[in-house]
Chains A and B, each alone.
Chain A
Amino acid sequence: MNEYSYMEALRSALRDEMLRDQDVFVMGEDIGIYGGAFGVTQGLLERFGKDRVINTPISEGGFTGVAVGAALTGSRPVVEIMFMDFVGLIMDQLVNQASKLRYVLGPQAKCPLVVRVACGAGRCYGPTHSQTLESWLAHIPGLKVVAPSTPSDADGLLRAAIRDDNPVVFIEHKLLYGEKGPVASPGGEPMPLGEARVVQEGDDVTVVAWSWMLAEAEKAAAELEEQDISVDLVDLRSLSPIDHETVVDSVKHTGRLLIVEEGYRTAGMSGEIAMRVFEQAFDYLEAPPRRLATPDIPIPASPILEKAAVPNTAAIVASVKDLMAYQG
């Protein structure tokens, strides 16, 4: 298997899908000659030209709506929103337009739209350029939401998102772009949306994470292994729909659950995941489920504060140990 960076995987998936299907086009700010704020679309303009690599004015609400209209009439747009924080500007298009079309209008309508966004802290970009707002989106019926953590998943899930006939928000993480890993089937098949991945099997505790938090959780699992604590690590990958079955099965096996997310704690994803576990595996629990999330504060720019705000490996290790020590 070849090694690719997360960024290369995204770029090659975009290129392949554009080659495969003439209806696919990309649009967004500075995605042309600049290659996108993080470099994902580099080279696409040269290859596909201005009509299929549409460099937009700074008009997020407008061009996302334009993409909805194009999707409704037979195109397959892939929109890039530079920072996930800016989804504030496109929410109406997602919430009141794209996500409602199929249910209300029936089989005559479909909206094959992908919106790619870059989430996450870690770069000291400050309160309006560091957020992870996936729970806003997962809350909306009719929207699919995915957040890959590896180059292989970035590749397979982006292909699937583009071929899906529904609006999909595709969440990338700033800190992952440079991460390298094997890609299962470069130029190959899409991966199904809506399926979690068991990263490693274990017996003592289930840890659920995704995106950058999965990387932190993997490091924590390795540390815990040395201390004879065996982690069943689940990469959720898809935040809507959520693969509750994989999580519930894991908790039935381990009896303990820790969820790690980068979004704000209150009304985040963790509450939803844990509630399903309560509903479906309550009798198996040996300890109350725990969660790690960003506290309910704007994400500060100062390096020292930013670092303290977001869950990390050390916090995961400590949390798992607390779970293991729980006596009832």
Chain B
Amino acid sequence: MAIAEKQLLKHYKTMLVIRLFEERVEELFGKGVIRGTAHLAIGQEAIAVGVASALKEHDYITSTHRGHGHFIARGADPNRVMAEIYGKKTGYSGGRGGSQFMADLSLGFIGANGITGGSIPVATGAALSAKLKESGKVAICLFGDGASNQGTFHESLNMAATWQLPVVYVCENNLYAMSTHVKDAMAIENIAGRAIAYGMPGKVVDGNDLFAVHDAVSDACVRARGGEGPMLLECKTYRLSGHSRGDQCNYRDVEEVQEWGKSDPIVRLQTALLERGLLTGERDAEIRESVAAVVDQAVAFAEESEYPDVSTLEEGVFA
């Protein structure tokens, strides 16, 4: 199902929020304001928003170490995402999880994940419970090209196809796992091609095109909800930022980054909106201003929030 026109500006804005949020996180790390590490989704916003826009409110979604954007697209409060990155009490995990470990089950967002490939069986399990409970829910599993080389990927896809589970595997193929190019980590061209080995359809999608991602995920969800089983979508994209904090990117050429920069998903959407007459320069400026306010507010919220109380350190290990 195509995206309703009246939703488009909202999606455009969400993509901008993610971009600016990530840029701000990078800046705060640079200044030493926040500690730990963070993996930014700059350049991959169309996947986060395209996926989220295709889901129903009650569906499940699992994420990765590069999860801020997925979470914000799914409706997370940027204030609380930022507070979690800061390690503050008001963060989604009360500061315990940090950048790679947050969730909001009420949004169906059942977790970012610091273990590469760790969330693939978890998403599959959410689909299993949806099937057992006949809830009509679908699980979306986001993961990277690198994660698709973990055993969990292969084992999960086999089970999902065998059991015809309502799950959609969405691979964000950004060409690299840290410094390792996909060509140095697998002998095939398309990860989507692996689907056939497990008995499910696979499809290559332009991951920098919001419309393409939305349509592909929508169609896969219709299939899954109709009891036709899982599907593997491979969204081709590129991370315009480094892998994580401190990455010098010595493994890739500046020209490659520039080339992919021409396919910036936000610029592509902006161009499409302008062409269709859905956006004007003036409206764009307004939107960008309101986006800056959202991110400023998130930083202010995180700054003003308190750190967790040390007396709580040993609380809550068991349910």
Find out whether the CB atom of A300 lies under 8 angstroms from the CB atom of B186. no
B115: A residues at CB distance < 8 A: 85-86, 88-89, 128
Please state if B308 and A59 are interface contacts (CB–CB under 8 Å).
Answer: no
Interface string of A291-321 (1 = CB under 8 A from B): 0000111101111110011000000000000
Q: How far is the CB of B121 from chain A (nearest CB, A)?
A: 13
Q: Which of B114, B146, B250 contacts A129, CB < 8 Å?
A: B114
Instruction: Kindly report which residue of chain A lies nearest to residue B89, judged by CB atoms.
Output: A302
Answer whether residue A29 sits at the interface, using C-beta atoms and an 8 A cutoff: yes
The contact size tier of chain B is 35 or more
Q: Quick one: CB contact mask for A218-231 with B, threshold 8 Å, 1 for yes?
A: 00000000000000
Q: Which of B114, B147, B185 contacts A126 (CB 8 A)?
A: B114
- A160 → B minimal CB distance (Å): 30
Contact with A along B249-266 (1 / 0, CB 8 A): 011000000000000000
Q: Mark A110-134, 1 if CB is under 8 A from B, else 0.
A: 0000000000000111111100000
Instruction: Knowing A301-B87, A302-B96 are in contact, say whether A126-B178 is a contact too (CB < 8 A).
Output: no
Q: Does A32 contact B (CB under 8 A)?
A: yes
B residues within 8 A CB of A300? 87, 95-97, 308, 313
The reply to whether A305 and B96 contact each other, CB–CB distance below 8 Å, is: yes
Q: Are A30 and B179 in contact (CB under 8 A)?
A: yes
B36 beta carbon closer than 8 Å to chain A: yes
Which of A33, A57, A60, A298 has the most CB atoms of chain B within a 10 A radius of its CB? A57
Q: Find A296's partner among B36, B94, B317 (CB 8 Å cutoff).
A: B317
Contact check, A59 vs B150: say whether CB atoms are below 8 A apart.
yes
Within the complex, the shortest CB–CB distance from A264 to chain B, in Å, comes to 11
Contact call A126/B97, Cβ cutoff below 8 A: yes
Check if B36 sits within 8 Å of A123, measured CB to CB.
yes
Task: List residues of chain A with CB within 8 A of the CB of B313.
Answer: 295, 297, 300, 305, 308-309
Chain B nearest CB, measured from A299 CB (Å): 9
B156 to chain A, nearest CB (A): 14
B117–A124 touching, CB < 8 Å: no
**Are the CB atoms of B251 and A33 closer together than 8 Å?**
yes
Query: A residues within 8 A CB of B98?
Result: 124-126, 301-302
Q: Which residues of B contact A128 (CB under 8 A)?
A: 100-101, 114-115
Chain A contacts with B in 50-95, Cβ cutoff 8 A: 55-62, 85-86, 88-89
How many A-B residue pairs have C-beta atoms within 8 angstroms? Tell me: 125
Quick check: is A284 within 8 A (CB to CB) of the other chain?
Answer: no
Is B285 part of the contact surface with A, judged by Cβ < 8 Å?
no
Which residues of A have CB within 8 Å of B93? 301
Asked whether A282 is an interface residue with its Cβ less than 8 Å from the other chain, the reply is no
Asked if B307 is an interface residue, CB under 8 A from chain A, the answer is: yes
A320 to B149, CA, bound (A): 49
**B146 proximity list for chain A (CB < 8 A):** 57-58
A136 CB-CB contact with B under 8 Å:
no
A34 contacts B by Cβ under 8 Å:
yes
Q: Report B-chain residues with C-beta under 8 Å of the C-beta of A305.
A: 87, 95-96, 307-308, 310, 313
| Whole-angstrom CA separation of A85 from B97 in the bound complex | 15
Residue among B87, B88, B179, B180 making CB contact with A57, cutoff 8 Å: B180
Q: What are 6 A-B interface contacts by the 8 Å CB criterion? A: A34-B179, A34-B250, A37-B178, A58-B180, A126-B98, A301-B101
Query: Given A125-B37, A301-B101, 11 other A-B contacts at CB below 8 A?
Result: A29-B177, A57-B180, A58-B147, A85-B115, A126-B100, A127-B96, A300-B96, A301-B97, A302-B96, A305-B310, A309-B313
| Chain A residues packing against B (C-beta within 8 Å) | 29-30, 32-34, 37, 55-62, 85-86, 88-89, 123-129, 295-298, 300-305, 308-309
